Amino acid sequence: MAKLKVMCARSMHVAVGALGQAFAQASGHEVAFDFGTVGALQTKLDAGETADVVILSVGSIDKLEQAGAAVPGSRKNVARTFIALCVREGALRPDFSTVEAFRRLLEGARAVATSDPAVGGSAGVHLDKAFKAAGWDAMLQGKAMPQQTGAEVAKRVVEGKAEFGLTLSGEVASVPGAVIVGPLPAPFGQDTVYCAAVTAASTAKEAGLAFIAALTAPGTRETWSKAGFALP
């Protein structure tokens, strides 16, 4: 039996953790996870750290393939998430269906929890760029509450410290009491497709391929849905 090391985007930890445990029980393989932001995991890979399977953004997998660091033909899209607005369970669901409605919501808010772009998470990085491009960064000063993880964004909302939060839907779904209202309007919203691949350095390539297949089997749809994701 093989021992797999899996590097995986942090927002997927609920679904991938559950499906990985089921895979280990069914196959007899051991699975060890390293969950982190896509930026943090990419830094580890660039520094020479290895894993058997990596589950990152499509762009990161493209980069690995171009460098010859992924097994040709092993990549597979796993799940899709989006940048969501979340509120506390039972709270009124605000209108942010258009850019203007979203702006009014931000202007009237006392505190908005967001993912800290400095950490390297895809939602935080994208929103930081989008707010600056729209000239909204000054408006958010004093009310934005950058958090280290998307789960912490949702927790600040549940605690009442922020009126709403902006982070990946998969992160929101992991926090009891936090409710996903919907995706942000373009250009602030962004769908992210996560992709898995077996690394060229892996000594357990067949087990890695089987693990990826287990994550994307038709019967996993409910697990992904409950975790705030959709199958691509």
Running DSSP on this structure, what letter comes out for residue 97?
A: S
CA nearest to 127, candidates 177, 82, 170, 65: 82
The predicted pLDDT at position 140 comes to 94
Q: Which CATH class is domain 3-80+192-226?
A: alpha beta
- As a CATH number, domain 82-183 is 3.40.190.10
Comparing 3-80+192-226 with 82-183, is the CATH topology the same?
Answer: yes
Residue spans of the domains in the chain: they are 3-80+192-226, 82-183
Q: What is the pLDDT of residue 32?
A: 97
pLDDT of residue 121: 80
* Residue 8 exposure: Cα atoms within 13 Å on the Cβ side: 25
Determine the pLDDT at residue 119. Answer: 87
Exposure on the CB side of residue 49, measured as CA atoms within 13 A: 13
Phi, psi (5° rounding) for residue 111?
A: -150, 135
Q: Is 186 helix (H, G, I), strand (E, B) or coil?
A: coil
Instruction: Give pLDDT, residue 174.
Output: 87
pLDDT at 94: 96
Low-confidence ranges of the chain (pLDDT < 70): none
d(Cα 15, Cα 227) in Å, to the nearest integer? 6
Based on its alpha-carbon atoms, the radius of gyration of the chain, rounded to whole angstroms, reads: 18
Write down the pLDDT at residue 37: 85
In sign, the C-alpha dihedral spanning 105, 107, 108, 109 is: positive
